[in-house]
Amino acid sequence: MGRYQGRVAVVTGAARGIGWGIASRFAEEGASVALVDLDAAAVAEAADRLPLRPGAAATAVVADVSSAPAVETAIGTVVGDLGGLHVLVNNAGVTRDNLIHKMPEDEWDLVLGVHLKGAFLMSRAAQRHFVEQRYGKILNLSSTSALGTRGQANYSTAKMGVQGFTRALAIELGPFGVNVNAVAPGFVTTEMTDATAARLGLGVEEFRNARAERNPVRRVGSPDDIAAAAAFLCSDEASYVTGQTLYVDGGSKL
Ligand code: NAP
């Protein structure tokens, strides 16, 4: 019997990358899983590939997490399709890296809109169900970039904001049986970091190797590394853990 048997989890930005890794891990451990993402074909294909346990189900939902009407509809669809909601992972993300003197206003707005407003809207919609049933888990994706990265004023701001958001929600929702935590990955091999390599004019392997060399554990992370932490933080084994940000980065910021 998996830790997540009988649970329904919704993961945003789950068509690929870290979100897909977390969704797959929840499915392996028995959950029914809703994948939320922007691209209809990609999210449907991802839902079809989930390693579901017998009796569990999956649903693919197309929604922009920074749109309040889309989020309200998405949460309604998840509850309707899968019969409830117990776990929310706010993972959807974008980067628009630029030094501040070159950063257009729309790049600032987009990054804060997806990471911060998206997490706010999804959490606001999900907590209604969590508070009513006196049970829920929220996990927010922060980043080592929260500590400040050159060329990422928008992203670093959003990712540190996620940590404050996590602490505030933990205080508000703890009395109602809801745990709220964050995971802050370091470098993880996904299309997001491959795009960074391209922007820096480096090959994907060259970039990964350079980052691995600087890391105390001498490797970069995989979506599975983040999924393992997520599976713990959203489980009942972590019911006395709330308001925390767990850095999963191979010690890169030590
Ligand atoms: P990724 O491969 O780029 O995947 C992100 C997913 O989110 C994509 O499928 C994307 O869809 C979706 N998405 C973007 N905007 C959305 C929106 N408004 N509504 C719904 N879905 C949206 O990124 P990742 O590397 O897996 O990152 C996942 C999370 O981990 C992000 O929050 C990121 O900031 C965080 N993180 C990543 C790393 C890393 O090294 N990879 C490190 C620290 C933190 P489209 O492709 O259609 O845009």
pLDDT digits (tens, 9 = 90+) for 29-62: 999 999 999 999 999 999 999 999 999 999 999 9
pLDDT of residue 49: 97
Q: What residues pair up with 137 in beta bridges, in sequence order?
A: 87, 179
Let me know if residue 54 belongs to a domain: yes
Question: DSSP string of 183-226?
Answer: EEE-SB-SHHHHHHHHHTT--HHHHHHHHHHTSTTSS-B-HHHH
Query: pLDDT per residue over 98-119, tens digit each?
Result: 999 999 999 999 999 999 999 9
Let me know if residue 237 belongs to a domain: yes
CA distance 44 to 142: 26
Residue nearest to atom 44 of ligand 1 (CA): 143
- Which distant-in-sequence residues (6+ apart) come within 8 Å of 240 by Cβ? none
Which pair of tokens denotes residue 232?
């713990």
Let me know if residue 110 belongs to a domain: yes
Pocket of ligand 1 contains residue 37 by CB under 6 Å: yes
Let me know if residue 203 belongs to a domain: no
Report strand pairing: 58-62 vs 87-90: unpaired
CA distance 96 to 152: 8
Ligand 1 atom nearest residue 67's Cα: 18
pLDDT of residue 112: 98
Tell me, yes or no, if the pTM score tops 0.95: yes
Q: Is 135 a catalytic residue?
A: no
Is the pLDDT assigned to residue 177 strictly greater than 80?
yes
Let me know if residue 195 belongs to a domain: no
**In the predicted model, what is the mean pLDDT of the chain?**
97
CA distance 159 to 148: 9
Let me know if residue 201 belongs to a domain: no
Pocket of ligand 1 contains residue 141 by CB under 6 Å: yes
pLDDT of residue 17: 98
Pocket of ligand 1 contains residue 17 by CB under 6 Å: yes
Pocket of ligand 1 contains residue 88 by CB under 6 Å: no
Is the pLDDT assigned to residue 1 strictly greater than 70?
no
Let me know if residue 199 belongs to a domain: no
Ligand 1 atom nearest residue 155's Cα: 34
- Identify the active-site residue in 4, 135, 155, 247: 155
Q: How far, in Å, from the CA of 16 to the mean position of ligand 1?
A: 8
Residue nearest to atom 48 of ligand 1 (CA): 38
Ligand 1 atom nearest residue 65's Cα: 19
Mean pLDDT of 145-164: 98
Mutate to test the pocket of ligand 1, among 67, 190, 211 (most ligand atoms within 8 A of CB): 190
**Domain total of the chain:** 1
Pocket of ligand 1 contains residue 14 by CB under 6 Å: no
Mean pLDDT of 23-27: 98
> What CATH number should be reported for the domain holding residue 125?
3.40.50.720
Let me know if residue 193 belongs to a domain: no
Pocket of ligand 1 contains residue 191 by CB under 6 Å: yes
Mutate to test the pocket of ligand 1, among 16, 18, 159, 222 (most ligand atoms within 8 A of CB): 18
Residue nearest to atom 45 of ligand 1 (CA): 38
pLDDT of residue 243: 98
Q: The domain containing residue 85 runs over which residues? A: 8-186+221-248
